[in-house]
Amino acid sequence: MDEHEHPHVATVGSYVVIFLILVALTVLTVFTALSPLGHWHAPVALGIAVVKATLVFLFFMHLLHSPKLTWLVAGGTFVWLGIMFALTLADYWSRGIVGRYQ
């Protein structure tokens, strides 16, 4: 809605639905933490967190109906965060491979 005079107004019902989904995902993440998932605990818990965060971004923070420039800025966040995580972990997680760690 680039610079239109009237913003997109979501219905109260749609906010209720998003809120209930977020609560359900919170309950789900507690149950998965108590389940025998072995090595899958971290990926599942973080995956659920990413879904919850995406719902908050898109609907509560109105990203879905924001101009493309806002999408670019919001997306840029993850580019910078990705660079920080990728380069740092590439160092720490490769030290055992070259046999000089521990």
Partner 1 sequence: MATVPLAHHFRTPAQQHHAALLGMWMFLITEVLLFGAVFLGYVVYRANPALHGGFVAASEHLGQSVFGFEHVPFLGAFNTVILLGSSFTMALAVRAAQVGNQSSLVRNLGLTMILGTIFLGIKAYEYHHDWDIGLIPGFKFDKAAWAGTGVDARHVELFFVFYFVLTGLHAIHMFIGMGLLGVLWVRSRMGRFGREYYTPIELAGLYWHFVDVVWIFLYPLLYLIRH
The answer to the question of residue 58 lying near partner 1 (CB under 8 A) is no
Per-residue tokens: 76 = 């840029």
Nearest alpha carbon to residue 74 among 88, 89, 64: 64
**Cα separation values, 83 from 49, 70, 77, Å:** 20, 20, 10
51 DSSP 8-state letter: H
The answer to the question of residue 64 lying near partner 1 (CB under 8 A) is no
- Of 61, 64, 65, 94, the residue at the interface with partner 1 (CB under 8 A) is 61
Please report, for the chain, how many H helices and E strands are present, in that order: 3, 0
Nearer to partner 1 by Cβ, of 39 and 100: the residue is 39
Residue numbers of the site for partner 1 (CB under 8 A)? 2-5, 7, 9-10, 12, 15-16, 18-19, 22-23, 26-27, 29-30, 33-34, 37-39, 41-42, 45-46, 48-49, 52-53, 56-57, 59-62, 66-67, 69-70, 73-74, 76-77, 80-81, 84-85, 88-89, 92-93, 102
